[in-house]
Chain A
């Protein structure tokens, strides 16, 4: 109906002599959950880093809602409506959970309004706190609002990270391994939450947990050694022989073993 939310074409990233990504193309439509799977070192996080402007590709284009994204600095993404979580979380330990969320918002009063503590800075602060409380409530973690993130168990920290990304009210949410380190129950909650987010935004999920990606994604790309080896709907990927030999064959077994536990 319109421009794809994210349109990556022929993306090639080189680290010295190593081709980290080799001619990768993918389209993420509006309100779509798009999974990216592949073994370690396949280039999944590299793809996110290129989209976010953390590294410069050797070739290719990245378009966000029809506009070229290459050359955009990472800090400009939030304003465009792109939010991303990091594999390493990147919570700010010196701030409380609530304060982490406040910084996550795209709205910021200007320097002098803050310096002089003008009423509009206070009003904005109040509005942001209300919004942050709502987001925490949506994720069921409002009780830890005043805690410091380092004091929380890993699963809760991951939920705070997700909450912080949602504070920016993104139109495109890039999740880097949201399920790693989570228990089976927590992964179910995550799947349910991401499914709900789809009504408001497009989501790209880079993930090792294949079952989760299969369950929530409308379309999936499979990367291996920097190449797209398959793309399609979850059933298509499941039936793809190249994928099962390259990656799924081994991982499905371990995943089955994991679900039994």
Chain B
């Protein structure tokens, strides 16, 4: 009768396939070991990840997504030094699947690695484990020459949400690489400090729109009163995406003084932006803005129209 059920074979039996002369047989053994989801398979997979054949090594790196803990992370970190790029790629993905903070034990010693690919992967892996010991190396790595490393280091700092790291994050918002600046600005969202706000305000003048967009968006979380004037200035940004986030943040910050500037923006022929403006005018509910809204109560764009009518309802209440 039990033939009907999927097997729960002894791990040592499954592992015998790792001695197969042909790589294909060893790959199959790795897959079966992974499917077992039994931690007893980890030592065998740790051998498979240093197999002579790259296909077996890659499969072992994938197999480790089914496991967690320091032995798993140790094997994966080792695979980051593989000669075959497909093995490194698989190991990098598997590192992001770790959940157990103890898995960080095997990653922490590698946070000063000379190899930028390995270093970036290690930061990426330890980010979600939120190990406070990673903060120092991450701050140090903000000066690494490879931006891929810097961006992951910023990620680690952002997830730790440690106010003492604010100076480092602020430094990172001046990075040469826009993607690092954007990530660093978004990472400031946890802080309500004046320093975070000032840094985000500076971000509104960044030469890259994706950075300005992140600054405008994050001010909804970290902004106080100082950012209101700069956000209002951002309403004239060349990019509608930045304007949209500025409008949204001004709404969330209840900046009624911005209402008469948002009103005329209803004329801009970008439906996504007009829709957001209408919603925010409703949130701010400044009586003088009725004139701007009424004009668009029968707008041809349904989403704009809906938000306008909703806003007019709010204003009437």
Q: Do A and B make up one complex?
A: no
Interface of B toward A, CB cutoff 8 Å: none
Interface of A toward B, CB cutoff 8 Å: none
